[in-house]
Structure 1
Amino acid sequence: MRSFFIMMQKLKHFSKDHRVWLRIGLLSFLIFLGLFLYKYVPLVREIWRFGTNPLLLEQTFRHPTLGDILLLVVLTALMTAIPFMSSSVIALVNGVILGATFGFAINWLGALLGNILVATIIAHTDLAHVRGRTDKHTQWLSHFKNHFLSLTLGYMIPFVPSFLVNDRAVVWKTPKKQVICAILLGTAPSNLIYAFGGNALFKWNFNDLLWLALILGVLLGVYLIVRHVTGKKDKNVT
Structure 2
Amino acid sequence: MKRKIIRILLFILGGILGLLLLYKLYLNYRPELNLLLHFDHHNEEVLVNMVRSHGIEDLAFLFLLNAICVAIPGLSNGIFCVLNGILYGPAWGFIVNWISDILGQIILMELLQKLYDMKKMSNSKVYKLLTGLKSPMLGLIIGYMIPFIPSATVSYVNIMINKEQRKKQLIPIIIGVIPFAYLYAYGGDSILHLDGTRLIKVVISFVVIALIAVAILLSLRAIKKRTKKA
Paired position in structure 1 for 2:189: 199
What is the aligned residue count?
222
**Gap regions ≥5 residues in structure 1:** 1-11
1:204-219 correspondence runs (5 A): 204-219=194-209
CA deviation after TM superposition for structure 1 residue 225, in Å: 3.3
Distance 2:110 2:122 in 1: 20
- In structure 2, the residue matched to 1:187 is 177
The 1-side partners of 2:144 and 2:94 are apart by 16
Task: Select the residue among 35, 40, 45 that pairs with 1:55.
Answer: 45
Please list, as runs of the form range in 1=range in 2, the aligned pairs for 1:141-156 lying within 5 A after superposition.
141-156=130-145
The answer for the alignment partner of 2:107 in structure 1 is 117
CA distance in 2, matches of 1:127, 1:64: 42
- For residues 8 and 139 of structure 2, the distance between their equivalents in structure 1, rounded to whole angstroms, comes to 28
1:157 to 146, 157, 169: 146
- The answer to whether residue 74 in structure 2 is matched with residue 84 in structure 1 is yes
What does 1:96-111 align with in structure 2 at a 5 Å threshold?
Answer: 96-111=86-101
State TM-score, norm by structure 1: 0.82
Letter in 2 for 1:56: V
Residue by residue over 1:41-70, the C-alpha shift from the partner in whole angstroms, topping out at 9 and shown as x without a partner, is 443023323535112212221112110110
Cα distance in 2 between the residues matched to 1:141 and 1:29: 31
Q: 1:32 maps to which residue? A: 21
Other structure's SS at 1:171 match: helix
Q: CA deviation at 1:151?
A: 1.4
Deviation (angstroms), 1:223 = 4.5
| Within-5 A mapping of 1:8-27 | 15-27=4-16
Distance, in Å, in 2 between the alignment partners of 1:147 and 1:201 is: 37
> 1:124-139 maps to which residues of 2 (within 5 A)?
124-128=114-118, 130-131=120-121, 135-139=124-128
Which shifted more, 47-56 or 161-170? 47-56
Q: How many angstroms apart in 2 are the aligned matches of 1:175 and 1:23?
A: 31
Identical-pair percentage? 24
Partners of 1:26 and 1:82 within 8 A in 2: no
Identify which range, 17-26 or 73-82, moves more after superposition.
17-26
Mapped contact 1:84–1:163 kept (Cα < 8 A): no
Question: CA offsets, 1:77-132, max 9 Å, x none?
Answer: 11212213221111111111100100000100110111111111112234146426
Aligned with 1:124: secondary structure? helix
